[in-house]
Amino acid sequence: MLRRVVGKTFGFLGYAIQYGCIAHCTFEYIGEIVICSGPSMEPTIRNYDVLLSENISRHFFSIQKGDIVIAKSPNNPKTNICKRVIGLEGDKVCTGSPSDFLKRHTYVPKGHIWLEGDNLQNSTDSRSYGPVPYALIRGRICLKLWPLNSFGLLKDSPNGRILQDD
């Protein structure tokens, strides 16, 4: 009797560990469902929108300008941020707001990207904390799942800041 109970317990434990490992690898290397909060990506992503993030492109260095990514916050590693890629390494980017009279520019250093929220007036992004190391990228947003009336691929940046190859 005891042998059967112990055997079933270890069998269940073995399956739980296997499924836990599969789930971890899936969420770490393939993709995950994320819920974004905060106004920094409005109107593209609103508070509590449910999104699908794929993690494969970060491993193959295929993140492009215009992509929306989930990354660890450079200010607080316990927090994830959701921002749009404005510049890749070597790109010249404008570091001020579009309404500034004098435009300041900088170059994105090797191994870094420049991230900004679509809501420039209400976003803490690379304009505040500078270029973000590529290693902090967790995944690329590929699909909006909820609310259902906006299901599908995400739109381009509403403020057109990506086309700055000057």
pLDDT of residue 1: 79
Which pLDDT band holds residue 157 (cuts at 50, 70, 90)?
low
Q: Is residue 5 part of a domain?
A: no
Q: Is residue 73 part of a domain?
A: yes
Which residue shows structure tokens 């434990």? 13
What CATH number should be reported for the domain holding residue 95?
2.10.109.10
Q: Is residue 105 part of a domain?
A: yes
Which pLDDT band holds residue 164 (cuts at 50, 70, 90)?
very low
Q: Is residue 83 part of a domain?
A: yes
Q: List b or e across 88-106, with b for residues whose CB sees 16 or more CB atoms inside 10 angstroms.
A: beebebbeeeeeeeeeeee
Cα dist from 84 to 68, 116, 148, whole Å: 4, 5, 22
Average pLDDT, the chain: 84
| Per-residue pLDDT tens digits for 78-105 | 999 999 999 999 998 888 766 667 778 8
pLDDT of residue 158: 64
pLDDT of residue 45: 87
pLDDT of residue 68: 92
Q: How far apart are CA 68 and CA 118, in angstroms?
A: 10
| Catalytic positions | 40, 83
pLDDT of residue 137: 92
| Per-residue pLDDT tens digits for 28-60 | 888 888 898 888 888 888 888 999 999 888 877
More confident residue, 16 or 151: 16
Q: Is residue 26 part of a domain?
A: no
Check whether the bond before 158 is cis (ω within 30° of 0). no
| Per-residue pLDDT tens digits for 7-31 | 888 888 888 999 898 888 888 888 8
Question: Looking only at Cα atoms, what is the longest distance across the chain?
Answer: 81
Instruction: Look at residue 125 and tell me whether its pLDDT is greater than 50.
Output: yes
Q: Which domain holds residue 60?
A: 34-150
Counting the structural domains of the chain, the total is: 1
Taking the whole predicted model, whether its pTM rises above 0.85 is answered as no
Q: How far apart are CA 59 and CA 14, in angstroms?
A: 30
